[in-house]
Amino acid sequence: MIIVKINGEQRAFAEVDDAWFTQRIERPQAAGALVCVQVSFDDADVHMQLQTPTCASGGGGGRQANPHEMEIFAMWARWGLNSHNFTAARIMGFLKEASRSVRAAA
């Protein structure tokens, strides 16, 4: 399961659409607000949490990532989500790619 939390509002990725992301990311950013996006994975071999740099600091993982989790970390970086300049489109692209990867491994 993939859970997305944007500025404290949490939804399962399977339950949201592009408009939900745009409304919660693009609109506040256009008004100059910082937007915090957190993504949690809880699947057979993927148990991890990621967050944009606009979120308050969180603790790091307590264990070494497995190969599938390393692939998800690489996707996050490839989509530019370690930057303050992320967009709703990049978040959505990452989530769609990551969800395919998680389903394929199941």
Q: What is the mean pLDDT of residues 57-61?
A: 65
Domains of the chain: total: 1
Is there a contact between 44 and 106 (Cβ–Cβ < 8 Å)? yes
Task: Tell whether the model's pLDDT for residue 105 goes beyond 80.
Answer: no
Task: Tell whether the model's pLDDT for residue 69 goes beyond 80.
Answer: yes
Predicted confidence at residue 61, as pLDDT, reads: 63
Q: Which stretches does DSSP call E strand in 37-101?
A: 37-42, 47-51
Domain limits for position 19? 2-105
Q: What is the mean pLDDT of residues 33-60?
A: 89
- Cα–Cα dist 42/72, whole Å: 12
Instruction: Choose between 59 and 34: higher pLDDT.
Output: 34
Predicted confidence at residue 101, as pLDDT, reads: 85
Tokens linked to 91: 């978040």
pTM above 0.85, yes or no: yes
